Amino acid sequence: MAEFVVNAQRFDPYKNFKFRVKWDGRYVAGVSKVSSLKRTTEVVKHREGGDPSTSRKSPGRTEFDAITLERGVTHDVDFEQWAAKVWQIGSGLGAEISLKDFRKDMIIEFYNEAGQLAISYKLYRAWVSEYQAIPDLDANANAVAIQHLKLENEGWERDLAVNEPTEPSFTSNRA
């Protein structure tokens, strides 16, 4: 059986429920869901005149999919303030968008079951393309009100400075 390189005794992959999101040097409160980080590279087909009737394939442009952040509605205004930098209602002509700082670099941190930082990704030049302040309201529902940010970005990469943690081993001294 193949073993993990750094932590050879580990058999289980990391779970997807321990994570934190950071922007502007601080953690964003209450984020309960982050969509997947996905990139797609176009396929460019080509052939030379003397080639057989099959095509060759080469990589073309790479696109990074938008990501979505979700959290419960609270009095915290971080989502709303960032979304307002892209378009602000009631602003004067030429002031609808904050060109200086509507883009943010972000960090998505992924933790193991013991709460140790295991993996980190850096997301570059993200900006809000969609903002949902409140969900559909339904007097017959029994659910938490969730707000969404859809973030366009110019790429992401894994932070290779974050090493795999040495997982703790707990023993009980009970008699």
Per the DSSP assignment, residues forming a β-bridge with 57 are 45
- Give the 3-state secondary structure percentages of the chain, helix then strand then coil, rounded to 5: 5, 40, 55
- What fold does the segment set 19-43+57-158 form as a domain? Pnp Oxidase; Chain A (2.30.110)
Predicted structure pTM score: 0.82
Specify the pLDDT at position 4.
62
Specify the pLDDT at position 8.
66
Specify the pLDDT at position 164.
85
CA distances from 48 to 40, 41, 54 (A): 26, 22, 10
CA distances from 121 to 57, 110, 118, 158 (A): 30, 8, 11, 4
Q: Which two tokens stand for residue 16?
A: 């997807």
Specify the pLDDT at position 27.
94
Specify the pLDDT at position 40.
97
d(CA 126, CA 108): 12
Specify the pLDDT at position 165.
85
Tell me the mean pLDDT per 10 residues along the chain, length 175. 64 87 93 96 90 88 96 90 81 69 94 92 96 93 93 96 82 62
Question: Can you give the residue ranges of every domain in the chain?
Answer: 19-43+57-158
